[in-house]
Amino acid sequence: MKIGFIGLGNMGAPMARNLIKAQENIVGFDVYPSNVDDIPQNSIKEIASECSIIFTMLPDGEILKKVYSELVPICNKGTILVDCSTVDVDSALHVANESASRGLFAMDAPVSGGVVGAEKGTLTFMVGGDAEAYNKVEHFFGIMGQKSVLCGKSGTGQSAKICNNMILGISMIGVCESFNLAEKLNLSWERLYDVVSTSSGSCWSVNTYCPAPGIGPESPADRDYQPGFAADLMLKDLKLAKAAAASVDAPTALGKHATEIYENFLENGGKGRDFSAILPYLAKRL
């Protein structure tokens, strides 16, 4: 069985390499092929005619729709298309409907775990789509990740991703506000961490990814906030959550506020920084 992989960037290239390491027969495509000459590549046309499962890992919904508009009309019937990009729910539904009308199976399968997870093969896949198609692709999720969850119909993978990241964006800001407040109240970060990490304020943003340098397990804060998970990508996901919430009239006051805070952060030194660098930003040390 031949597997296609379109979009060989920071995430797609290491994911495709893990498939190659597992002896899968891979053919890739990227508009900038020169960066990844260790991955066999061919045209979209060849991928469509040769591959029965085709992964995509692309920057956004507009690019995804453009790639699918080229790909879908020339794929063989029954081909499974798996989009691992983070895109808006509407784009995911659009490409799923377009694919279904041509006798193809499309799944949205965005990931959590970042570049390190892509390299180590420890991603989590959140999948929306047909259960039978999921069963055929689960094996490949197992190579590129440590967990995959079939969340429901098309679009629910993207919904899970933006709901998760809205929690993360809000909680990271809350944690940074508390650490900044503690410092001003002459409470050391070490002692705050000791208390919070085993108390009701504990959460991933404190226990695993503490934004204070030198505190807790190693995190981007210990590498001068080099990402990690870039603030630009957090803002992208918060904007997707905001748009999705508006489309179904769900109240997300804190999600909106988090979006504004990340917008301001990115306009004031946050570009290229990890999303946990909200802490030095609040302390006016950025």
Q: Using the minimum distance from each CB to ligand NAD, give the nearer residue, 56 or 180.
A: 56
Shortest Å, Cβ 87 to ligand NAD = 6
Shortest Å, Cβ 9 to ligand NAD = 2
Answer yes or no whether residue 32 interacts with ligand NAD by CB under 6 A: yes
DSSP string spanning 182-225? HHHTT--HHHHHHHHTTSTT--HHHHTT-SSTTSSS--GGGGTT
Answer yes or no whether residue 233 interacts with ligand NAD by CB under 6 A: yes
Sign of CA dihedral 48, 49, 50, 51: positive
DSSP string spanning 270-281? ITTSBGGGHHHH
Shortest Å, Cβ 67 to ligand NAD = 5
Instruction: Give Dmax (Cα) for the chain.
Output: 65
Work out which of 21, 25, 31, 272 binds ligand NAD, going by CB under 6 A.
31
Answer yes or no whether residue 211 interacts with ligand NAD by CB under 6 A: no
Residue among 65, 161, 239, 271 flagged as catalytic: 161
Shortest Å, Cβ 39 to ligand NAD = 11
Is 161 catalytic? The answer is yes
Closest CA to 219 of 206, 233, 238: 206
CB 2 within 8 A of CB 51: yes
CB 225 within 8 A of CB 274: yes
Work out which of 51, 111, 162, 196 binds ligand NAD, going by CB under 6 A.
111
d(CA 74, CA 51): 11
Judged by the rule CB under 6 A, the positions of this chain that interact with ligand NAD are: 6-12, 29-32, 57-59, 63, 66-67, 85-86, 111, 114-115, 229, 233, 236
Catalytic residues: 161
